[in-house]
Amino acid sequence: EAQLVESGGGLVPPGGSLRLSCAASGFTLSGSGMNWVRQAPGKGLEWVSYISSGSNTIYYADSVRGRFTISKDNARNSVFLQMNGLRAEDTAVYYCARSPGTNWFDPWGQGTLVIVSS
Amino acid sequence: EIVLTQSPDFQSVTPKEKVTITCRASQSIGDTLHWYQQKPDQSPKLLIKYASQSISGVPSRFSGSGSGTLFTLTINSLEAEDAAMYYCHQSSSLPFTFGGGTKVEIK
CB atoms within 10 A of CB B25: 23
Three-class DSSP category at B98: strand
Check CB contact under 8 Å for A105 and B36.
yes
| B98 vs A45, A50, A103: nearest CB | A45
Check CB contact under 8 Å for B46 and A104.
yes
With beta carbons less than 8 A apart as the criterion, state whether A89 and A69 touch.
no
Q: What letter represents residue B37's amino acid?
A: Q
Per-residue pLDDT of A12-25, as tens digits, reads 999 999 999 999 99
A102 pLDDT higher than 90: no
Q: Which residues of B touch A106 (CB under 8 A)?
A: 45-46, 49, 55
Per-residue pLDDT of B51-62, as tens digits, reads 999 999 999 999
Give dist(CA A24, CA A115) in Å, integer.
Answer: 24
Instruction: Quote the DSSP letter at residue A95.
Output: E
Q: What letter represents residue A31's amino acid?
A: G
User: In a structure prediction context, what are the per-residue pLDDT tens digits for chain B, which is 107 residues long?
Assistant: 999 999 999 999 999 999 999 999 999 999 999 999 999 999 999 999 999 999 999 999 999 999 999 999 999 999 999 999 999 999 999 999 999 999 999 99
Check CB contact under 8 Å for A99 and B49.
no
Check CB contact under 8 Å for B46 and A45.
no
A101 pLDDT higher than 90: no
Per-residue pLDDT of A47-98, as tens digits, reads 999 999 999 999 999 999 999 999 999 999 999 999 999 999 999 999 999 9
Which pLDDT score is estimated for A60? Answer: 98
With beta carbons less than 8 A apart as the criterion, state whether A36 and B43 touch.
no
A100 pLDDT higher than 90: no
C-alpha distances in Å from residue B91, one per residue of A50, B4, B28, B43, B70: 12, 11, 12, 19, 15
Q: Which of A25, A20, A77, A30 is nearest to A56 (CA)?
A: A30
Give dist(CA A103, CA A20) in Å, integer.
Answer: 22
Which helix (H) or strand (E) covers residue A112, if one does? strand A112-116
